[in-house]
């Protein structure tokens, strides 16, 4: 029988589970004025998750989920659905744990991410965006495999939340945490960690204008599914959030704000020129919101910002510079 | 009276002198196969000097030199000559130490680096490349200031050599060190540190084909001045080496090899895509030589590689991607 654990304990347990299998990624601290005049007076702490295994934070949740499987479940394998970073994380994690993996990917996924997923040994099933959920459900059923949800599984988002624990280790005096947000796994995990350990810290999620399922769900008071997705941040573009994630967001997150594609591009350029780091568009969204003055922080504050992934080809990066 | 110090002791003293004023930059370790098939079997350790103060290793030598000045010398100020990274380092270091600084820069210098030097508070004197040395000498004379040579001063290249000490701290078992090379300050300093502490480690310098004063000087048996410079690696393009540096190179360096501009561009792209780091062209030269198989290392070896600087605009980087 499993002991009852608190939300925070689940994240702390995940940290112990995945330690040694993930990179303990560094933080880069910089005065806002050295980055952009609009940031003067802020101290920024960037979480460099582009250096994580498979190039994004996703491996944290995946490894936490895989560790929970029985030997029998491992033998039957796992199935995941993703446009990219979660796909690579599942492929890498499954190979590490000796678990067969099938990844259902939409045909609009970035080719580089499809190739990388296959190169890591996973079977990739491509289908139209409209058939994504049905194909996923059918594949789980056919293979009698375990579904590894990209975000709406407590084991997955508690794993993602370990990033929040590390941010607090690196900047114990932080006043705010700004998190780029797609389905909401990273946001809900990080918010769970931060709000339980430092309740007065502000936690803000950032979605692209063209893929803002959580903002719209918050406004509607219940979960909304988007008909149209339109953003360069392919990693932040699921058309829906999830029940568990949405509950966590409502419990712990102070605000969810939006950024345009142009604002994301500008943030990516700034990260390249000033931080000398490479982020994918999704990874630049949180900084874009800080630059736009949308996160509700004030001079003198320390703001931790996620750079959540760096899976971008030279060709795609070039288009943003 | 100054005690006689060995070459190595001078580098070790520099490390104590500049500690706390510079960044202790991180090393990124990666298996060669994860970077490029040509690197299979090698373990690579990249020295991330793009995160150094002013964006390149140059500040190490400058701060070591400035620390040697008397109060009177500091009051009279310093003069430097540079096409870029040394200029910024002198401007930054001088401001930190409260020393007036004049920097003589050639008109062909990258505008971004000229602007950055001025923004750091130095007076910039622009002149044609042909008049560089004369203008420099005249300015030193007129101002009764101390010259801070970009490389051929033992205090400057011993300061640069602290980077070699850090590489040995990060990878005590390294088999080879590959160093991008312009005037030769970084190469001679690093070679001094590495060869004295680990004599069996191979030390290789890398110059651009279109600006290879040291390779040509080694071939000629005496120092050669180049008439023509033609390389995208503006940071590696002094037309000459120096007496002190050249003696160190002959004493400590195993080989100096050349890379083409195309090879440098390819290395920069690989650093962006696989390491998720930004280097300027000069900073990519060392990796370019390893990729080209020119540094004389074998499978199973650990190779430390300098990523010596990241001062590149988005616009210039774009041209290389």
In CATH, the number for domain B58-151 is 3.40.50.1100
Q: Given a cut of 80, is residue B2 above it in pLDDT?
A: no
Q: Which residues are paired to B306 by β-bridges?
A: B47
Sheet of A101-106: strand order equals A123-127, A101-106, A78-81, A146-148
The pLDDT score that the predictor gives to residue B213 is 93
Q: Nearest by CB to A273, which of B273, B277, B313? A: B313
Contact list in B for residue A278 (CB cut-off 8 A) is 272-273, 276-278
Q: Give the tokens for residue A26.
A: 């560094």
ipTM of predicted complex: 0.91
CATH T-level topology, domain A7-57+154-320 = Rossmann fold (3.40.50)
The pLDDT score that the predictor gives to residue A1 is 47
Element (H, E) at A15: helix A7-18
Nearest chain B residue to A312 by CA: give it. Answer: B273
Q: Is B308 a catalytic residue?
A: yes
Between B67 and A3, where is the model more confident? B67
CATH T-level topology, domain A58-148 = Rossmann fold (3.40.50)
Same CATH topology for A7-57+154-320 and A58-148? yes
**All structural domains of chain A with their residue ranges:** 7-57+154-320, 58-148
Say if A51 is an interface residue toward chain B (CB within 8 Å).
yes
The pLDDT score that the predictor gives to residue B112 is 82
The per-residue pLDDT for range B270-302, each reduced to its tens digit, is 999 999 999 999 999 999 999 999 999 999 999
**How many CA atoms lie less than 13 Å away from A303 in the CB half-sphere?**
29
C-beta of residue A214 within 8 angstroms of C-beta of residue A151:
no
The pLDDT score that the predictor gives to residue A113 is 85
Determine whether the interchain pair B310/A278 forms a contact, defined as Cβ–Cβ distance below 8 Å. Answer: no
C-beta of residue A123 within 8 angstroms of C-beta of residue A102:
yes
DSSP states of B65-112: HHHT--HHHHHH-EEEE-SSHHHHHHHHHHHHHT--EEEEEETTS-HH
Phi/psi class of residue B296: alpha, beta or left (left: φ > 0; alpha: ψ in -120 to 50)?
left
Three-point CA angle A297, A306, A160, nearest 5°: 120
Cα–Cα distance measured from residue B318 to residue B265, given in angstroms and rounded to the nearest whole number: 11
The pLDDT score that the predictor gives to residue B135 is 94
Residue B106 phi, psi (nearest 5): -75, 150
Q: List Cα–Cα distances, B21 to B25, B60, B96, B288, B302, in angstroms.
A: 12, 9, 9, 31, 29
Contact list in B for residue A313 (CB cut-off 8 A) is 273
Q: How close B249 gets to chain A, by Cα (Å)?
A: 30
Q: How close B271 gets to chain A, by Cα (Å)?
A: 10
B251-254 contacts at long range (C-beta below 8 A, 24 or more positions apart): B252/B188, B252/B191, B252/B192, B252/B194, B252/B195, B252/B203, B253/B187, B253/B188, B253/B191, B253/B203, B253/B204, B253/B205, B254/B202, B254/B203, B254/B204, B254/B296
Instruction: Taking residues B55-76, report their average pLDDT.
Output: 97
Cα–Cα distance measured from residue A103 to residue A123, given in angstroms and rounded to the nearest whole number: 6
The pLDDT score that the predictor gives to residue B229 is 84
Q: Is A150 helix (H, G, I), strand (E, B) or coil?
A: coil
A168-172 contacts at long range (C-beta below 8 A, 24 or more positions apart): A168/A193, A168/A194, A168/A197, A168/A198, A170/A27, A170/A45, A170/A47, A170/A304, A171/A27, A171/A29, A171/A45, A171/A302, A171/A304
The pLDDT score that the predictor gives to residue B60 is 98
Residue A199's contacts (CB-CB under 8 Å, 6 or more residues apart) are none
C-beta of residue A272 within 8 angstroms of C-beta of residue B314:
yes
With bands split at pLDDT 50, 70 and 90, how would you rate the model's confidence at A3? Answer: low
Instruction: Taking residues A301-311, report their average pLDDT.
Output: 96
Q: Nearest by CB to B272, which of A28, A269, A314? A: A314
Q: Please choose, from the candidates A285, A278, A293, the residue with its C-alpha nearest in 3D space to the C-alpha of residue A237.
A: A285
Determine whether the interchain pair B272/A315 forms a contact, defined as Cβ–Cβ distance below 8 Å. Answer: no
Report percent pLDDT > 90 for chain A. Answer: 86
| Best to test chain B binding among A276, A280, A315, A321 (most B CBs inside 10 Å) | A276
Nearest chain B residue to A25 by CA: give it. Answer: B28
The pLDDT score that the predictor gives to residue A161 is 98
Instruction: Taking residues A170-174, report their average pLDDT.
Output: 98
With bands split at pLDDT 50, 70 and 90, how would you rate the model's confidence at B234? Answer: confident
Q: Given a cut of 70, is residue B1 above it in pLDDT?
A: no
Cα–Cα distance measured from residue A154 to residue A7, given in angstroms and rounded to the nearest whole number: 9
Q: Which residues of chain A from 294 to 313 reach within 8 Å of chain B, CB to CB?
A: 310, 312-313
Q: Architecture of B7-57+155-320 per CATH?
A: 3-Layer(aba) Sandwich (3.40)
Name the average pLDDT for chain A: 94
Q: Which residues of A186-209 are buried (b: 16+ CB within 10 A; e: fewer)?
A: bbbbbbbbbbbebeebbbbbbbbe
Between B138 and A109, where is the model more confident? B138
Q: Report the catalytic residues of A.
A: 58, 308
Check residue B277 and report its DSSP letter.
B
Nearest chain A residue to B279 by CA: give it. Answer: A276
The per-residue pLDDT for range B76-100, each reduced to its tens digit, is 999 999 878 999 999 999 999 999 9
| Best to test chain A binding among B54, B275, B314 (most A CBs inside 10 Å) | B314
Say if B133 is an interface residue toward chain A (CB within 8 Å).
no
Q: How close A48 gets to chain B, by Cα (Å)?
A: 10
Q: Given a cut of 90, is residue B185 above it in pLDDT?
A: yes
Q: Given a cut of 70, is residue A2 above it in pLDDT?
A: no
Instruction: Taking residues A124-143, report their average pLDDT.
Output: 91
Cα–Cα distance measured from residue B258 to residue B294, given in angstroms and rounded to the nearest whole number: 8
Q: Nearest by CB to A51, which of B269, B272, B276? A: B276
When mean pLDDT is compared across A180-194, A226-240, A301-315, the lowest value belongs to A226-240
Asked whether the whole model's pTM tops 0.80, one would answer yes
């Amino acid at each position: 029988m499993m002991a009852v654990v608190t939300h925070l304990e689940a994240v702390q347990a995940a940290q112990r589970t995945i330690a040694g299998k993930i990179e303990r990624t560094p933080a880069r601290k910089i005065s806002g004025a050295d980055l952009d005049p609009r940031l003067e007076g802020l101290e920024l702490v960037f979480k460099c998750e582009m250096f994580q295994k498979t190039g994004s934070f996703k491996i944290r949740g995946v490894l936490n989920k895989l560790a929970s499987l029985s030997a029998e479940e491992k033998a039957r394998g796992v199935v995941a659905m993703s446009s990219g970073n979660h796909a690579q994380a599942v492929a890498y994690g499954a190979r590490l744990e000796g678990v067969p993996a099938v990844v259902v990917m939409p045909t609009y996924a970035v080719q580089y991410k499809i190739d990388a997923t296959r190169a890591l040994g996973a079977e990739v099933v491509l289908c139209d965006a409209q058939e994504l959920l049905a194909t996923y459900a059918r594949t789980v059923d056919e293979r009698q495999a375990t579904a590894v949800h990209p975000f709406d599984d407590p084991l997955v988002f508690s794993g993602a939340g370990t990033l929040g624990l590390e941010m607090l280790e690196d900047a114990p005096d932080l006043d705010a945490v700004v998190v780029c947000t797609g389905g909401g796994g990273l946001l809900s995990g990080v918010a769970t960690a931060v709000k339980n350990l430092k309740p007065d810290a502000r936690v803000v999620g950032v979605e692209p204008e063209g893929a803002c399922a959580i903002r719209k769900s918050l406004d509607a008071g219940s979960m909304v599914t988007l008909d149209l997705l339109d953003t360069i941040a392919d990693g932040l573009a699921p058309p829906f959030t999830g029940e568990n994630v949405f509950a966590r967001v409502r419990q712990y997150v102070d605000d969810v704000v939006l950024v345009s594609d142009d604002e994301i591009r500008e943030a990516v350029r700034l990260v390249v020129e000033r931080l000398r780091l490479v982020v994918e568009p999704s990874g630049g969204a949180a900084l874009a919101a800080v630059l736009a003055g949308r996160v509700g922080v004030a001079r003198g504050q320390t703001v931790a910002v996620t750079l959540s992934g760096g899976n971008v080809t030279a060709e795609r990066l070039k288009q943003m510079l």
